[in-house]
């Protein structure tokens, strides 16, 4: 389920606003220049489904958004538990750590979730907005926005990523440890203490 939790940037213990209503989430994010939409996620995939199959299933909305936003490339980012891989816990931790540091991008970060969920933390207008994106959610984080992403300790998601450059995901890390001070994705999903 999608949700938003809004905290003052300097006070991770104070919840200013929260909602699970997609229309309200979109309105809150629109106030700070972020696009959030609930799209139809009409196809289901196994964790091992080839990226080509996912991209083919959503070809029409992908092509439309690529035209609108001028995105020359797309791919599929995903992580799913593999009980047959003894190295899975270490791989999951390493993948999670990569995105947990606050960073920015020189282009918009656009994601459409087709399976599972993850939390984007956006640092805007003196606030941290924790946006839990789930299956069917489209989020577009404007270029230059300070943010981080948490997939939780048991990552299980697939998202179509849209890029304005052929290089794909390129981050500039801020060096600020802010991400360590805020409730992580697991805490937000549990709802405690919020």
Annotated binding residues for Ni(2+), written as ranges, equal: 103, 105, 109, 147
* Distance separating alpha carbons of residues 182 and 136, to the nearest angstrom: 25
Q: Do the Cβ atoms of 51 and 90 come closer than 8 Å? A: no
Please, what is the end-to-end C-alpha distance for the chain in angstroms? Answer: 15
* Distance separating alpha carbons of residues 182 and 121, to the nearest angstrom: 9
Beta-strand relationship, 35-38 and 127-134: unpaired
Annotated binding residues for Fe(2+), written as ranges, equal: 103, 105, 109, 147
CATH number of the domain at 151, please: 2.60.120.10
Range of the domain at 118: 3-190
Task: Render pLDDT for 7-27 as a digit per residue (tens, 0 to 9).
Answer: 999 999 999 999 999 999 999
Q: Do the Cβ atoms of 133 and 152 come closer than 8 Å? A: no
Beta-strand relationship, 109-124 and 146-150: antiparallel
Q: How many domains does the chain have?
A: 1
In the prediction, which pLDDT does 171 show? 81
Annotated binding residues, written as ranges, equal: 103, 105, 109, 147
Does residue 161 register a pLDDT over 90? yes
Q: Which two tokens stand for residue 166?
A: 């052929």
Task: Render pLDDT for 74-129 as a digit per residue (tens, 0 to 9).
Answer: 999 988 888 889 998 998 999 898 899 999 998 999 999 999 999 999 999 999 99
Residue 91: CB atoms within 10 Å: 14
* Distance separating alpha carbons of residues 32 and 108, to the nearest angstrom: 14
């Amino acid at each position: 389920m999608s949700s938003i939790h809004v905290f003052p940037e300097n006070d991770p213990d104070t919840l200013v606003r929260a909602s699970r209503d997609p229309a309200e989430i979109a309105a809150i994010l629109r106030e700070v220049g972020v696009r959030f939409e609930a799209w139809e996620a009409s196809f289901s995939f196994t964790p091992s489904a080839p990226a080509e199959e996912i991209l083919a299933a959503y070809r029409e909305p992908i092509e439309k958004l690529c035209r609108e936003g001028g995105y020359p490339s797309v791919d599929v980012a995903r992580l799913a538990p593999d009980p047959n891989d003894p190295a899975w816990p270490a791989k999951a931790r390493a993948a999670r750590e990569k995105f947990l540091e606050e960073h920015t991008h020189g282009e918009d970060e656009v994601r459409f979730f087709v399976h599972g969920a993850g939390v984007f933390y956006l640092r805007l207008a003196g606030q941290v907005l924790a946006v839990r994106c789930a299956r069917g959610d489209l989020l577009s984080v404007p270029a230059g926005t300070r943010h981080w992403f948490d997939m939780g300790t048991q990552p299980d998601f697939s998202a179509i990523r849209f890029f304005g450059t052929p290089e794909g995901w390129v981050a500039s890390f801020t060096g600020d440890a802010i991400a360590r001070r805020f409730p992580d994705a697991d805490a937000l999903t549990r709802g405690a203490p919020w």
